[in-house]
Amino acid sequence: MSDTASERFHQGLATRRSVLGNAHVDRAQAASTEFDKPFQELITEAAWGHVWSRPELTKRERSMITIALLAALGQDDEVAMHVRATVNTGASREDIREALLHVAIYAGVPAANHAIKIAKQVFEQMDAGEAA
């Protein structure tokens, strides 16, 4: 990353690793090009450093909120990634179910139904010991 990385970036990188795991972050960094390097730096500093690193909510709570928002937005790959990350955040399968019930009411049954399908697939992969 940038030679002039901020303290917030470094905090974000630590938080990102604690939530998504070293393997995921290492893959994202290795795949980064000059084109998307500024984007990777932005999400590390802004999402992970400014938001996920705040102490007011637990990682479990942030995980539940994030999954619900991503489900409502139809961001399938991100839903799957954040369901996998619950291993690190402490959000249980029951927590995810409850978050997706909220999605059904506030964002629509089709969005929740699709996210539930994704979560079930991820849980099956996790239970089978498949890599993230």
Report yes or no on 87 lying in a domain.
yes
Domain count, the chain: 2
Mean pLDDT by 10 residues, the chain (132 residues): 76 97 94 95 96 98 98 98 97 98 98 98 94 58
**How far, in Å, CA of 3 to CA of 124, rounded?**
41
* Full domain range(s) for residue 41: 7-51
Clarify whether residues 19 and 46 are in a common domain.
yes
Q: What pLDDT sits at residue 130? A: 79
Clarify whether residues 66 and 28 are in a common domain.
no
**How far, in Å, CA of 96 to CA of 63, rounded?**
9
Clarify whether residues 28 and 71 are in a common domain.
no
**Is 0.85 topped by the overall pTM?**
yes
Backbone angles phi, psi at 25, to 5 degrees: -65, -40
Task: Report which of 74, 87, 88, 86 is spatially closest to residue 118, judged by C-alpha positions.
Answer: 74
